[in-house]
Amino acid sequence: MNGKLSRRALLGQAGVAAATAPLWLSACTTPARRDADVVVIGAGLSGLNAARLLEEQGLAVLVLEAREEVGGRMRTLDHVPGRPEAGGAQIGANYARTLATLQALGLDTRGGRGTSFGRAFHLGGEMIAVADWPDHPANRLEGRERALPPWQLLGAYLDGENPLRAFDDWLAEEFQSLDQSYEAFMRAAGASEQAIALAGVTMNANALDSVSVFARWRSGVLYRDAMRGGAVQFVAGGSQRLPEAMTTRLSAPVLTGRTVAAITADAGSAQVRCTDGSRFTADFIICTLPFTVLRHLEIDAPLDPAQREAIAGLPYTQIAQIHFSATAPYWEDDGWPPAMWTDSPLQRIFMSDDEAGQPSGHHLAWLDGAAAKRLTGMSDAAVAEMALAEMARLRPASEGRLEVHEVVRWTAENPHAGGAYMHWAPGMIARWAGRMHLPAGRLHFAGEHTGIQHTGIEAAMESGERAALEILQHVSA
């Protein structure tokens, strides 16, 4: 990774993704004034990876970032006790690009830490031990469901039925007849009404009826492959160290505080206009913005009709996080484990162990879908007040012994993200998946949402590589 690859060798890595890139553009023409060969919009992993690969091949690259820091949806809360992760963090053993980049940049990885999650939960106003659930009066589940705690119900129905085996099966036409929502699949499989209701409380999605089973099945294929190579890893010192290190290797500094307002790409060149009036002209543009952000920009480029539909309609999972700490180990007083699933507005509450294997005291309330949306319009102070009040209701022993540090919103209220990550709704894969990442003239697309072979962090790295390869194909023509 430290050496400079030959252009022939780099192009040879393109595989199926690069083969789908249109080659109708002629060789580059040079406009009267250029700020760079390539302008990259967004300093997340995809944009930074594309910039690094293009610079290695001798192209001049300029990276624009709307925020004041790099990383996109990677975010380590260095100022919060325990330095928790608020964004992308997990690195699977099959994340070859990410692992190679970490090694090239001299960064280490560490293993995950334990948690007491899964021993107890709060439902209908009372704490319930998992061991007591099968015979509990509140358990109205049916058949084999009765032995399962609420957070296992979705997986029990969806994961055991996964028909996908290969990485690209989710794109194959023969499987598209199975593309249906979580809820529709559970109902067809005979799930009880309580199972559907409980599965819909926490699901890392917006709602059971709005996300395709392919979203989970695709992740299941990738997870099985990753587990064959070893356990999930994390960046030592925090995920934020990766984009920071990638930035330091670029020839030109990332221009932060540059919010893009418009993109123009014609047959000869491309231009970006920012809200502060600045303009940047180049031969090519790589746009890594989530479609929730991109749909609000002016775009003058030969977009495919499917791309226009996807930009306007691709859904993103709404997630909010509340990071807080205990000033005293209240769980020792009430006898319940500190981590728990709840049907409250706080949904799931995690607490990782410290290096000695004991509860760290650092909490994370993870809200998704409707629970995250309910925070819309609330100030961080109001959210903190709500969280403390809910914890006092759920766990009276915690009252007066908690401190809220940070509220993180990966929701529509976040102008730079619009959500935590994209997901497929039923019917969208067949219409958009094979086309929404294709170049539109001199405008190229990257970002987690355009990944084909992977999801998450590796999808971002994959997409940045693909966009760089597309441009190198054009300049080599």
Domain 7-72+236-314+426-476: assigned CATH number: 3.50.50.60
Higher pLDDT, 128 or 113: 128
**pTM attached to this predicted model:** 0.92
The yes-or-no verdict on residue 298 having pLDDT over 90 is yes
Where is 17: in which H helix or E strand?
helix 15-19
* Closest alpha carbon to 337 in 117, 123, 152, 132: 117
Query: From the CA atom positions of the chain, what is the Rg in Å?
Result: 23
The tens digit of pLDDT for each residue in 314-328 reads 999 999 999 999 999
- For residue 128, give every residue at least 6 positions away whose Cβ sits within 8 Å of its Cβ, in sequence order, or none: 120, 121, 122, 136, 138
Bridge partners, residue 235, by sequence = 109
Where is 332: in which H helix or E strand?
helix 330-334
The tens digit of pLDDT for each residue in 274-287 reads 999 999 999 999 99
Given this model, what pLDDT does residue 28 score?
Answer: 40
Is 116-130+319-411 CATH 3.40.50.1000?
Answer: no
Distance of CA 109 to the CA centre of its chain: 19
The tens digit of pLDDT for each residue in 211-228 reads 999 999 999 999 888 888
CA distance 308 to 291: 10
Handedness of CA 52, 33, 297, 306 (dihedral sign): negative
**How many other CB atoms are there within 10 angstroms of residue 196's CB atom?**
18
Map out the domains of the chain as residue ranges.
7-72+236-314+426-476, 116-130+319-411, 148-229
The yes-or-no verdict on residue 32 having pLDDT over 90 is no
Given this model, what pLDDT does residue 10 score?
Answer: 52
